[in-house]
Structure 1
Amino acid sequence: MTAMALTLSACGSDDKEEKPKADQSAQRADRGEQDGQAKQETQPNRPDDTKVIATLKGPKGIVLDITSVTRSSGGFVTLNGNLKNTADEKFYDTQVWSGTELNVIRGAGGSSFGGATLVDEKEKKRYYTLRDTENRPLATTGIPVIEEKSEQKVYMQFPAPPKSTTQVALQIPTFQSVALTLTDG
């Protein structure tokens, strides 16, 4: 019965023609809205990926700019950033970033940021990237090669330290460690 009701409502007609997307864009422009502004309003909690809060230097011109480190009410920390190759040649040594845990390496299907950790020095605890039910890290995966003079967005998710912890250190194999301040999302 429910399926029939859904089908009927989907088949119903209300004599109004749907306006083409071009007309909708023109209407927004008439009201002084721009497409970019309309999209931002639908994603109010999206972090600003242009403001760099910390920079980690890696090998051979690889740089990771951290743009946000947010503790969610769901019990995890999400870290966003921009991975850059500032060198004039491709970078191939990304497999180390996956760490040494074989299940994570297999789960990620190759290179990932699965080897990253957050260290709470005050509580003397280390937090590894979260994994899904198939041992895939909740982090950017599939990074076999980084093209010269390129940039790409990356993310990592970790279990959240206690609310009393506001400072953590981010550690990624072959990168220098950096201290980060957690913000609540």
Structure 2
Amino acid sequence: RRRDMLKPDIIRECQDMRHLSWTRVRNSSGTVGTYLKAFGKEGGKKIYYKLSNYDSVHGVIGHENVNEIIADRLLTILGIPHLSYQLMFARIIPEDKEVNAWICASEDFKEAGETKLALDDYYDMMKMSGESPLAFCIRNGWTDYIREMLLTDFLLCNRDRHGA
């Protein structure tokens, strides 16, 4: 667990992030999710940014970014390795409208040239005939990871697993 680029975990002073380009599609492999996203570079590291549920009429109407910080802190307490998040108040321009909003940031966890694939896609490609997703994960040695994921999802009432 690295916090070097993303410390402290909450920045309350408004940051000027108007340079970010927000889109529902991101330039990476794997699942995208349904919220506006952006990316940038900081100290040579690629940083991904997420905006909570947003629409151009009402602005930010969700609390998903706060959920990321809650999950981050819970996983730290439980000693479960995870991606760290930073919550920041920022001036941004989603869909051509300048607003102040809470956004969250995380470092790219992939090494240069590395890609990712959603678990459901990998399962579909590599499963044995009649093998359940859980049996597939156990066969591949991911039992502890799956237990941690299920525990975390249970404690947080998470239903946003999109593809995993």
Q: Which has the bigger relative contact order, CA under 8 A and spacing at least 6? A: 2
Of structures 1 and 2, the larger Rg is shown by 1
Structure with greater helix percent: 2
> Do the two structures share a fold, i.e. TM-score over 0.5?
no
TM-score norm. by structure 2 comes to: 0.33
Q: TM-score, normalised by structure 1?
A: 0.30
